[in-house]
Structure 1
Amino acid sequence: MIVFKSIFFIIFAIVQNKLPVEKPKIAIASVLKPLQDARAFYRLGLSLRETNKYHLNIIGFSLKNEPLEEDLSHFKLFDQERSAWKRFFVNIKFLGLLKKIKPKLLIVTTYELLPAALIMKFLLRYKLIYDLQENYILNVKQNKTLPKWKQNLAVFWIVLVENMSKPFVDHYIFAEDCYKREFPGIANFTVLENKFYGEIKSVSPTKFESNQAIEFLISGTLTPVYGVIEAMHWFAEILKVYPNFHLKIVGHYPIKFYGKEMRELASKVPQISLEISENPVDYKQILEAYETCGIVLLPYYQLPSISPKIPSKMYECLALGKPFIFSPNSEWKQIANQYQSGLEFEFTDLKNAVSNLEDFLKLTFYCKAPKQEVRFDRAVFLRLIEGYF
């Protein structure tokens, strides 16, 4: 009789919220991204956190200890330089973290973590979602940052890991709509593009004033195929006529020689300031840079690994009401034209750099204000997650 009364009072206390009920654990894991990454933390993580239904575990890279927060835990896979050797053995550390966390649902954002994710899936019986953020095989082939033998080895490994994982991944999230064409063998997917995570800024038609001192911005990952050096040379040409302009570059460079090249070039141009690092930077730092900038530069190379995608920076510009200049791309132009938000340039066309920019500065921007169509679709994401609980 005493036992039955005890059980009754425990159940009653839970119903009255007097005893804590452990929330289901969800882990979101990445190798290359910072703990407070634009997609894993802001788009996916904060969307889940707002429901107050789950305990979130964010796994990634950080040089600092993140503050403790209710229903949010951070775990570092790396806290210093991420060498290729350390990345090769990252699955060993990831195994230990999964054993410690014991998630009910795991979202991995890179192929590198799939081996450990599959092993622990059999042991812990969690659901596995692969957030496919990049076409990694195409990236390796097109970006040309590796010697040929390393490139071939990387492609072989990615193909092996992704194909072996396919039967055991419960669902895929495509970060780009073009992945529907690039991955025809995947049927269980949801498209969730890298649109802006926060509130859309209310904007009205705007125009630059004559003789206005303008700050230009390049942000995010800084690699050769993103055209940063070409944009710096383009900006140096602009300064010959507009010496009061300023260019800020914020982000991280995964290739050391490229960071050195940027620093050497910036040292010769006082109007270019760098906030760059070998390590990933928190998304908050990039958002802060948007607050003071006037024009955003998107000087991406038009490679098959880049041109079919919509840059997240474009959605950020639209959401924050920032005019932008981008490399020629018909799909990007179509989006920009909807709002009169930007113009396409050839950043390598130094001869016409000034005249092209002057044509740009004459325009009136944001004649049509962007609305919820440029915002990350939280509702679709949350419905997907709720289907597993």
Structure 2
Amino acid sequence: MKKTKVVIASLLKPIDDTRMYEKFGLSMAETNKYDINIIGFDSKNVRTHEGITFHPHGPFGRLSFQRLIHPFKVFKKYIQLKPEIIIANTHELLIVSSVYKILFGSKLIYDLRENYVKNIRFTQVFPPAVRPFLAAWVRLKEWLSRPFINHYILAERVYNKQLPFLSKRVTVIENKYAPQTHESTAYRNPDPEYIDLLYTGTISESNGVFDAIDITKSLHLCDPKVRLRIVGYCALKKDLMRLHKEIEHYEFIELNGGDHLVPHLEIIEAIQKADFGFVLKRSNGGINDDKILTRLFEYTANKLPILLLNNPTWLQFCAEFNAAIEVNPDDFDAKTLLNTMKTKTFYDRGNASSSLWSSEKPKLLNLLEELSGQ
């Protein structure tokens, strides 16, 4: 049987990105119906897999000429590969993907992983003077490409309310935890000699890394067994410089990553060895208020107790499993918090397996079958 050729493409994600490869790519490969091609920047951690071909490119800065011209290189790759379905993982590929669809008749899916306009406006990635213009350009591309999008995939339910350009052809496919064949779900192996705290994900001030450090330092004063492991990548140089300064004299705080991406397997291993995980991402102009963060799925699927910012959406999500302790980084008592951590029972209700990718995979496969006519 002839396989349907699919391209999953991104500019700023690695080719072994968790969503592109471990969730979308591997789910498609299981069916043996698709010839899968993943375009992203190069990664040293890539594993080969039958039915999946990687097309890496070199990394480039967020504010660089290479970022401007690279969509045209992706377009050349489209012409070479001749995909029947394109899954564009970023707004930067909307124009070239739409042009390819017009010329060659492929099916086009826009996988919306972020509300990009809100991110540009309310984060510190870009200089303040250029943010309004960049945000307007992104939204214009999303409107202009609308007639050519066969289907929208949303990583968050809230995008249905936030994004004005969406059509009725929408499927929500959340970023739930997809354990690989060598990973044990809900496996816990913390060191009984310590109280290990964990911060994972993008390292930044707005994501709460410095709040996590301050809370850890306060808890460590109450009990020297408290340690913190920070695992992730820091995109902003000023945050990375501050991070190194904040932790340089504290042996009980360990950094894995910072200036480089960390393989997802190492993140999962850290989750399974921790006693508590931090989720302290600030509201930041309302960007995060109604989102269910990927780390919430990863932590709850692995039954890791959570030290959680008082966000109503997250509190409601965690209450289903009794998974969290609410923490206000600006106003907390370390002794009281530590006592609660030591005495509270977690995950004694609900079914944490609802945080697994297995509930989302059928949505993806049904959509692809519909678009490919299989």
User: TM over 0.5: same fold?
Assistant: yes
Matches of 2:280 and 2:266 in 1, distance apart?
20
Deviation at 1:68, TM superposition (A): 4.3
Contact map agreement 2:142 2:165 (CA 8 A) in 1: no
Q: Who is 1:45 aligned against?
A: 25
> Given the alignment of the two structures, is residue 101 of structure 1 paired with residue 68 of structure 2, yes or no?
no
| TM-score, normalisation: structure 2 | 0.91
Deviation at 1:345, TM superposition (A): 0.4
| Matched residue type, 2:126 | L
1:383 to 360, 366, 374: 366
> Given the alignment of the two structures, is residue 277 of structure 1 paired with residue 258 of structure 2, yes or no?
yes
Contact map agreement 2:152 2:170 (CA 8 A) in 1: yes
Deviation at 1:259, TM superposition (A): 1.0
| Matched residue type, 1:92 | F
1:363 to 332, 340, 344: 344
Q: Who is 2:161 aligned against?
A: 181
> Given the alignment of the two structures, is residue 149 of structure 1 paired with residue 136 of structure 2, yes or no?
no
2:94 to 101, 114, 135: 114
Deviation at 1:337, TM superposition (A): 1.4
Matches of 1:342 and 1:247 in 2, distance apart?
17
Matches of 2:211 and 2:40 in 1, distance apart?
31
Deviation at 1:80, TM superposition (A): 5.8
Matches of 1:202 and 1:76 in 2, distance apart?
30
> Given the alignment of the two structures, is residue 294 of structure 1 paired with residue 284 of structure 2, yes or no?
no
Aligned positions, number:
365
More off after superposition, 374-383 vs 360-369? 360-369
**What secondary structure is seen at the aligned counterpart in 2 of 1:296?**
strand
Deviations 1:32-90 (A, max 9, x none): 22211121111211111111111111111224384543211111133465653221111
More off after superposition, 94-103 vs 270-279? 270-279
| Matched residue type, 1:215 | D
Contact map agreement 1:60 1:77 (CA 8 A) in 2: yes
Deviations 1:78-123 (A, max 9, x none): 3465653221111121112111211110101110111221122222
Q: Who is 1:17 aligned against?
A: none
Deviation at 1:194, TM superposition (A): 1.3
Structure 1 portions without partners, runs of 5+? 1-20
Q: Who is 1:248 aligned against?
A: 229
1:22-171 correspondence runs (5 A): 22-64=2-44, 66-79=46-59, 83-171=63-151
Matches of 2:243 and 2:309 in 1, distance apart?
20
Greater Cα radius of gyration, structure 1 or 2: 1
Deviations 1:169-203 (A, max 9, x none): 11000111111111244221011111112389676
Contact map agreement 1:202 1:369 (CA 8 A) in 2: no
Matches of 2:169 and 2:16 in 1, distance apart?
28
Contact map agreement 1:35 1:282 (CA 8 A) in 2: no
More off after superposition, 52-61 vs 270-279? 270-279
Q: Who is 2:247 aligned against?
A: 266
| Matched residue type, 1:386 | E
Matches of 1:203 and 1:130 in 2, distance apart?
32
More off after superposition, 313-322 vs 191-200? 191-200
| Matched residue type, 1:237 | S
**What secondary structure is seen at the aligned counterpart in 2 of 1:158?**
helix
Contact map agreement 1:201 1:319 (CA 8 A) in 2: no
| Matched residue type, 1:370 | N
Deviation at 1:368, TM superposition (A): 2.0
1:307 to 277, 285, 289: 289
Structure with more relative contact order (C-alpha pairs < 8 Å, separation 6 or more)? 1
Contact map agreement 1:226 1:299 (CA 8 A) in 2: yes
Deviation at 1:317, TM superposition (A): 1.1
Contact map agreement 1:48 1:54 (CA 8 A) in 2: yes
Matches of 2:220 and 2:256 in 1, distance apart?
20
Deviation at 1:30, TM superposition (A): 1.3
Q: Who is 1:234 aligned against?
A: 215
Contact map agreement 2:12 2:59 (CA 8 A) in 1: no
| Matched residue type, 1:315 | F
| Matched residue type, 1:163 | W
Runs of 4+ aligned residues of structure 1 deviating over 6 Å after TM superposition are 199-202
Matches of 2:304 and 2:134 in 1, distance apart?
38
Contact map agreement 1:131 1:175 (CA 8 A) in 2: yes
Contact map agreement 2:309 2:327 (CA 8 A) in 1: yes
| TM-score, normalisation: structure 1 | 0.88
Deviations 1:287-313 (A, max 9, x none): 222232121111110231011101111
